[in-house]
Amino acid sequence: MGLFHDLRREFIACPDEFKGQIIYKWPDEDIRKFSQVTVEADELAVFFRDGRVQGTLQPGRYTLDSSLFPFLADLIDAASGGNMFKTELYFVATHEFADQVFGGVIDNVTDPQTSLAVGLRVYGDYSMKVVDPQALIVNYVGSENLSNNEAVTDWAAGLVLKVLRTDVVDHIVANAWPILGIAAHTDDLERETLAAAQMQLAPYGLQVVRMGNFTISISDEDQKTIKDYLRDATYTKLAGGFTQYGAGEALRGIGEGAAKGEGGTAESPALLGIGVGLANLLGGMGVGRTAPAPAPAPGFPATGVVCTQCGASNAAGAKFCAGCGNALAAAPHCSECGAQAPAGAKFCPNCGGKL
pLDDT at position 328 is 75
pLDDT at position 255 is 53
For residues 156 and 238, the answer to whether their CB atoms sit within 8 Å is no
Q: Look at 333 and 84; give whichever has higher pLDDT.
A: 84
Q: What is the DSSP string of 105-140?
A: EEEEEE-TTT--EEEEEEEEEEEEEES-HHHHHHHT
Integer angstrom CA distances of residue 202 from 78, 135, 140, 167, 194: 37, 9, 12, 17, 12
pLDDT at position 249 is 59
Q: What is the pTM of this model?
A: 0.57
Residues of 314-323 as b/e, b for ≥16 C-beta within 10 angstroms?
A: bbbbbeebbb
Asked if pLDDT for residue 355 goes beyond 80, the answer is no
2 falls in which pLDDT band (50, 70, 90)? very low
Taking alpha carbons only, the member of 264, 128, 151 closest to residue 206 is 128
- Residue 240's region, left for phi above 0, alpha for psi from -120 to 50, else beta, is left
| Vertex 211 angle, CA 45 and 198, to 5° | 60
Q: Give 233-269 pLDDT, tens digit per residue.
A: 877 777 666 565 555 555 555 555 555 665 545 455 4
Residue 16: alpha-carbon gap to chain centroid: 44
73 falls in which pLDDT band (50, 70, 90)? very high
Q: Give 154-197 pLDDT, tens digit per residue.
A: 888 888 888 877 777 788 778 888 888 888 888 888 888 888 88
13 falls in which pLDDT band (50, 70, 90)? very high
Report the chain's mean pLDDT, rounded to a whole number. 77
Taking alpha carbons only, the member of 341, 260, 334, 352 closest to residue 306 is 341
Residues of the chain above pLDDT 70, percent: 72
Output Rg (C-alpha) for the chain, integer angstroms.
46
Give the separation between CA 24 and CA 137, rounded to whole angstroms: 11
Give the separation between CA 228 and CA 251, rounded to whole angstroms: 18
Residues of the chain above pLDDT 90, percent: 22
